[in-house]
Chain A
Amino acid sequence: MSDAAGANAPKPSSSVKLVLLGEAAVGKSSLVLRFVNNDFQENKEPTIGGKQRPQTSPYESMRKTSSSRLSLGMNNGPGMADKCSLPTRTIKFEIWDTAGQERFASLAPMYYRNAQAALVVYDVTKPSSLTKAKHWVAELQRQASPGIVIALVGNKLDLTNDGGDASAASALEAEPESADADGEEGAGEEGEEHDATPGDARKVSTREASSYADEEGLLFFETSAKTGTNVVDVFTAIANAIPESSLKTGRGGAGTGQTALGGRSADDARVNLGERNAATAKEGCAC
């Protein structure tokens, strides 16, 4: 899986910090797991919860590379090397998990710092989770960088009647690549609500959420982390929505413009403490 040539890849590549927000148990981590590993775990423990964390550990941040289709002429300045003739650019998502810090209103400012994208997740079977999602959108508008790309995502589409119908919600051309919705083996010992609910459990209409998303200028999708429906599409749409200007500065944030010292950019100032430890660093680090 690890691409040794990644470092020398000719494609322009940018790292994008993406933060996850949403009420507990709406499937934030599952969405990421689906996207990053194309995997889903039934009865997944809450991300944080003290005692045991069986299958997945909480993580500092996950990284996943995604290519977005963008025309070179539109998005790359004249300074770009001409070997970048591929009509794609590579986006490396650095996905940050709240690690449960949101539970007692204690998300640190550093969580939002220089985030270029946010995934605000709610559960289509739980109206209160949309209310919470709206709260997070407001919080992002208050705390995060002004240009942040926000995607509102209604998860657990598999619990609705249109669960198998991948194109149900999204205005985009949804591409159900893993249509084998029931392919998961029920690893859990006790049935979770997922399996227990027969028929349509939808409590939040697509129209209600999408019109809210329109008002606020958010990307909008309904997904199923369980079946994979629309999951990749969410991330692709985010990658496409991130303005080139914000990619150039990367995580440095407002790093364009020149310093008074004559055109040195903020990158010249950064010190990499890890360099000296490169030899001992774990392999497979995507940075």
Chain B
Amino acid sequence: MESLADTKWDVIIAGTGLYQSLLALALSRSGKKVLHLDQNPHYGGSDAAFSLDEAQEWMNSVNQRPGRSPFEDAKIFTYQHPPDSPRSPPSQSDSEQSERPAGTPDLRPKLAASRAYTLSLSPYFLYTRSALISILISSKVYRQLEFVALGSWWIHTPDSPTNDTAELGATRIFHRVPGNREDVFADAHISMKSKRTLMRFLRHISKSQDEDSGETDGDLSVPFGEYLSTNFSVPDDLLHALRSLSLSQQSPQDTPASYAVPRVKRHLASIGSMGVGFGGVVSKYGGASEILQVACRASAVGGGTIALDTGISSLKDGGVTSEEEHPVEVQISSGETVRSKCVVGSVWDLPNQELPSLSTKVARSITVASSSFASLFPITTEGAPLPASTILMFPGDTLSHPQSPPVYLQVHSSDTGDCPRQQSVIYGSVAIPGSEGHTLIECAVDRLLRAEGPQAVVLWSMRYTQSGRLSTDGSSPNIHNPSPHVFSFPPSSLDLTWEDEIVDMVKQVWVKIVGDEVDHDDFMIFEDREGTTDD
């Protein structure tokens, strides 16, 4: 194998998370000589996606090397489902699978082969009006991705009147959140009076969207719920629905209007902006994991060199006074020493980094369920694509924890490519770390499955705690600059969609590295590179 030390690099990028991969693409197409490394043998870092077997390996490495990644306490459960009792207690994955009696056909739902699954650590959707979508399109990266639509938002309503109707299906314990004005009018659960107040609010925020005027918006520092009641007399029963559109993972009292209002605006502005009836999309085969792989490939096409399973062991920055053209000396895990003008990574990929004090931790889970949850994926607008993903929000009070943050479940149908047909992947998140959070997620998943019916069971699940930052924290993330030629991205976002800040940060580092050589307006705007012939 050729030596990486033979080249003097313009940039060494450590880690193949989404930030780094987008940066690698931007720089390689700006004529920079890019060496892109990842200490892991797989792509994606904390944005990776796994088969069942790979998830097992990942779990082992997370638990064996605490403090080396934003993850902790990963645990996998596989489930036995005897024909008689579909809900049996989980068994730890290290236990043996029991044999069924010979001769009886096995009709129980079961897991498919390991590789039939693409389970994502970053299954987040993208709003169609977002900076990330814009650069995926302008860079032509989207051409090698497949997107499916995000469908409805649902609020868990355990005491819903629809519980009376004996119909099965998960939707009987949920209300669909009206996503636009037509939805509001059609919604049978909302009283006429409530509809009027809701319409007033929606009109207000879409108006200020268009005009972007300085019209007084009321006091945005108060909790969103209070803001809605005070300024628009929105009744209490609609507050959860509007909060869910902000995707706030904080409790109602910790979700200020200044956070929620712009996000509800974004939600409404995205609906229909790229096609009828949807406002969000999910990248198939593992969400961000697939996007970053395409970005890395496009970076390689642009001349970048990429080496997996190769980390940075030590790093020496010659500093501002260095006469060297390539002032940073980097020792990589293969033992080679390579030189570069600068190095970019994250706290998890660069050596000798002081770990930031990560106060924000969330409990996460990935669950493979034996049901397609068909009723959760209605087509609500004529001509809309069949949704492949949906958001379920369980307010804290519905889980007997009135003060607690909500639990979000993002259900991916098999159309996302994450799992085989007739199964679904449920991604759970709650902003309470550890077992307390996991208990809440488990409770939410259990309610969903029970409502769906006896055939809906858990086949496999993994839980873990992840550190990072939430955009509700209020502080905007910064690029860390531990030494003159070294840049470090902040910890990954724990939000459920990609905030525009990710693109801002990638662009910031790109600008620092390309300087004035390139017009900054050309960031991530590329021509097609496809050799195309037709005859």
Contact = CB atoms under 8 A, between A and B. Distances in A.
Interface of A: 1-3, 6, 36-37, 48-50, 53, 57-65, 97, 99-101, 103-106, 108-111, 113, 251-254, 257, 259-261, 264, 266, 268-277, 281-282, 284-286
B301 A269 contact: no
Contact of B530 (A3, A62, A257): A62
Contact of A285 (B144, B298, B530): B530
Interface residues of B, number: 62
Interface string B143-162: 11011110000000000000
19 contacts: A3-B535, A36-B531, A36-B533, A48-B301, A48-B305, A57-B529, A64-B533, A65-B533, A99-B297, A106-B43, A109-B43, A253-B417, A259-B421, A261-B377, A269-B385, A271-B385, A273-B147, A274-B137, A284-B534
Would you call the interface of chain A mostly helix, strand, loop, or mixed?
loop
Given A59-B529, A260-B422, A104 B310 contact: yes
B199 interface: no
Contacts of B1: 103-104
Q: Which 6 A-B pairs have the closest CB atoms?
A: A104-B307, A269-B415, A99-B300, A108-B293, A62-B531, A260-B372
A110 B305 contact: no
B435 interface: no
B307 A106 contact: yes
Given A50-B7, A50-B305, A106-B308, A268 B386 contact: yes
A104 B294 contact: no
The residue in B275, B302, B303, B528 that gathers the most chain A C-beta atoms within 10 A of its C-beta is B303
The residue in A53, A60, A63 that gathers the most chain B C-beta atoms within 10 A of its C-beta is A60
Nearest to B10: A50
B532 interface: yes
B334 to A, nearest CB: 10
B309 A105 contact: yes
Contacts of A103: 1-2, 305
B312 interface: no
B346 interface: no
B72 interface: no
Contact of A104 (B308, B372, B528): B308
Given A60-B143, A111-B297, A270-B148, A100 B533 contact: no
A170 to B, nearest CB: 24
B281 interface: yes
Contact of A63 (B133, B413, B530): B530
B422 A60 contact: no
B45 interface: no
Contacts of B293: 108-110
Interface in B111-159: 128, 133, 136-137, 140, 142-144, 146-149
A104 B307 CA distance: 5
Nearest to A49: B303
A273 B377 contact: no
A269 B387 contact: yes
Given A57-B529, A99-B297, A269-B148, 13 more contacts: A6-B534, A48-B300, A60-B143, A60-B528, A62-B531, A65-B535, A104-B307, A108-B43, A259-B414, A259-B421, A271-B275, A275-B274, A282-B528
Contacts of A105: 307-309
The residue in A251, A252, A257, A260 that gathers the most chain B C-beta atoms within 10 A of its C-beta is A260
Given A58-B301, A259-B421, A285 B374 contact: no
B532 A284 contact: yes
B305 A285 contact: no
Contacts of A252: 146
Interface string B6-29: 010000000000000000000000
Contacts of A271: 147-149, 274-275, 278, 281, 385
A117 to B, nearest CB: 17
Nearest to A271: B147
Given A104-B1, A260-B374, A286 B532 contact: yes
Interface string B289-300: 010011011101
B385 A270 contact: yes
B303 A110 contact: no
B33 A50 contact: yes
Contacts of A266: 414-415
B388 interface: yes
Nearest to B9: A50
A253 B458 CA distance: 25
A268 B308 CA distance: 36
B297 A110 contact: yes
A14 to B, nearest CB: 15
